[in-house]
Amino acid sequence: MNLIIDVGNSFVKLAVFNGNTMEHKEVVKLDLILERIRAIRHEFSAIKRAIVSSVGRLNEADVEIIGAYFDLLILNSNLKLPYKSLYKTPKTLGVDRIALVSASVNQFPNNNVLIIDAGTCITYDFITAENHYLGGAIAPGLRMRYKALHNFTANLPLLDTTLPNNIVGNSTETSIHSGVVYGVLKEIDGVIEDYKLKYSDLTVILTGGDSNFLSKQLKSSIFATSNFLLEGLNFILQFNSNE
């Protein structure tokens, strides 16, 4: 069994996989990570291996403790990966993007795949049917756009994410919702259409924290999945295993 540890800026996703089947998942605050890992270790005594993907701040002392519990793999660009990367700055490529591309290789082999991760940022990652990772794009996510309008203007309020009823906003609040939400939807649909014009038989994956909110509104045909990154991390761990 494998333990997957995905460390964000404030929260950590923990998942337990038995082969390719996820048997447990939870989200915890960063300061509770060791407490929860000890509890998971007690509940799932068959866990032998673990992988850490960190875009947040996991200190070295915590890493050492986790490494004492399991055969630990730290995700970085130097690992053996299940695809050929043509990205020109591999050391600056986010570990979350590495995991997402790996998941696509595992679940959609020999396909042109566009992975869209709608979280704090919206990332676009493309891998060809020949298993070549070309790169993609990084754009502000929904919450970042709401916050930018509030933080960089004198009078605009900070609003909760809301699907507008009409593209024409008839108040400041509805105008903000229209600009942010429809802006993101039109952006994503437009990017997908541009990729379809260049690459035939395109498979599109939508994942990330805002995927459920966005998926029902997009015109394009997509696969929406919330656990794609965790599945990718599990595959990387398997791929680097000697077993």
Annotated binding site for K(+): 117
Q: Which residues are annotated as a binding site?
A: 6-13, 87, 94-97, 117, 120, 172
Choose, from 62, 96, 125, 210, the residue flagged as catalytic. Answer: 96
Terminal alpha carbon distance of the chain: 12
Helix (H, G, I), strand (E, B) or coil at 88: coil
Q: Do residues 136 and 126 make contact, with C-beta atoms less than 8 angstroms apart?
A: yes
Q: How far is CA 209 from CA 32, 119, 227, 229, in A?
A: 21, 5, 10, 11
Residue appearing with tokens 């794609």: 228
96 classed as catalytic: yes
Positions of E strands within 45-185: 49-54, 71-74, 84-85, 112-118, 121-127, 132-140
The catalytic site residues sit at 96
